[in-house]
């Protein structure tokens, strides 16, 4: 979403070519320039001892009513690994140990005109019972062949799952 007003002084912003010649919202009153950068999200494909994977039914857009792996935006004061663990705990009630990095994806949400970077890890569930939490209306374990692929909200999650399964010879 393009900001319309200066966050520093409240004046209306205008588009201006700054030092790198890219048009950016800038404040003609105080000189403040808005740099718009992708948000970073982190999440996990978390596996239980019996090989089942936890999915959340999403309660918020994007993808409301569809499924996804536990994931969400990093806070300013945490590492990407801590964000992945925290999001899993918040959305599923499960504590995890992180494993391999599955991948890093760029994505765009056209309707919000926003973009981000998603970092997904493999993980092992070490505690807790699945329960719904923030942004999720349910959390449930699925065997790989039970996962409703067409119900996964994001292509990034589908690709990550394919990578996860291939790495495990499944
Ligand atoms: Zn200003």
Written out in words, the top-level CATH class of the domain with range 1-36 is: mainly beta
Q: How far is the CA of 26 from the centre of ligand 1 (A)?
A: 8
Model pLDDT, residue 112? 67
Token pair, residue 161, equals: 């799952």
Considering the entire predicted model, what is its pTM?
Answer: 0.87
pLDDT at 60: 81
pLDDT at 53 over 70: yes
Q: Please say whether the dihedral angle defined by the alpha carbons of residues 124, 126, 131 and 133, taken in this order, is positive or negative.
A: negative
CA 140 / ligand 1 centre spacing (Å): 48
Token pair for 36: 């718009």
Question: Which class would CATH give 39-167?
Answer: alpha beta
Distance 1 CA to ligand 1 centre (A): 18
Ligand 1 centroid–CA 22 distance in Å is: 19
- How far, in Å, is the centroid of ligand 1 from the Cα of 6? 5
Q: Which residues surround ligand 1, an ion (CB under 5 A)?
A: 6, 8-9, 11, 27, 29-30, 32
Q: What SS3 class is residue 83?
A: helix
Q: How many CB atoms lie within 10 A of CB 158?
A: 14
Cβ neighbour number for residue 67 with a 10 Å cutoff = 22
Position 140 scores a pLDDT of 94
How far away, in angstroms, is 13 Cα from ligand 1 center?
A: 8
Percent of the chain with pLDDT over 90: 74
Q: Are 82 and 100 in contact (CB under 8 A)?
A: no
Most confident of 90-94, 130-134, 166-170: 90-94
Percentage of the chain exceeding pLDDT 70: 98
For the chain, the domains span 1-36, 39-167
Tens digit of each residue's pLDDT (9 = 90 or more) over 122-162: 999 999 999 988 777 899 999 999 998 889 988 999 999 99
pLDDT single digits (tens) 69-87? 999 999 999 999 999 999 9
**From the CB of residue 72, how many other CB atoms can be counted at a distance below 10 Å?**
20
């Amino acid at each position: 979403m393009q900001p319309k007003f200066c966050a520093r002084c409240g004046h209306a912003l205008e588009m201006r070519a700054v030092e790198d010649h890219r048009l950016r919202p800038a404040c003609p009153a105080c000189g403040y320039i808005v740099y718009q950068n992708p948000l970073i999200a982190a999440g996990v494909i978390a596996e239980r001892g019996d090989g089942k994977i936890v999915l959340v039914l999403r309660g918020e857009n994007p993808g409301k009513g569809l499924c996804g792996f536990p994931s969400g935006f990093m806070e300013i004061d945490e590492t990407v690994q801590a964000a992945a663990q925290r999001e899993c705990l918040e959305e599923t009630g499960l504590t995890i140990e992180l494993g391999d990095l599955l991948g890093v994806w760029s994505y765009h949400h056209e309707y919000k005109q926003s973009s981000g970077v998603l970092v997904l890890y493999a993980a092992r569930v070490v505690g807790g019972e699945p329960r719904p939490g923030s942004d999720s209306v349910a959390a449930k374990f699925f065997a790989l062949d039970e996962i409703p692929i067409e119900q996964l909200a994001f292509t990034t999650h589908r690709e990550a799952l394919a990578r996860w399964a291939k790495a495990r010879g499944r």
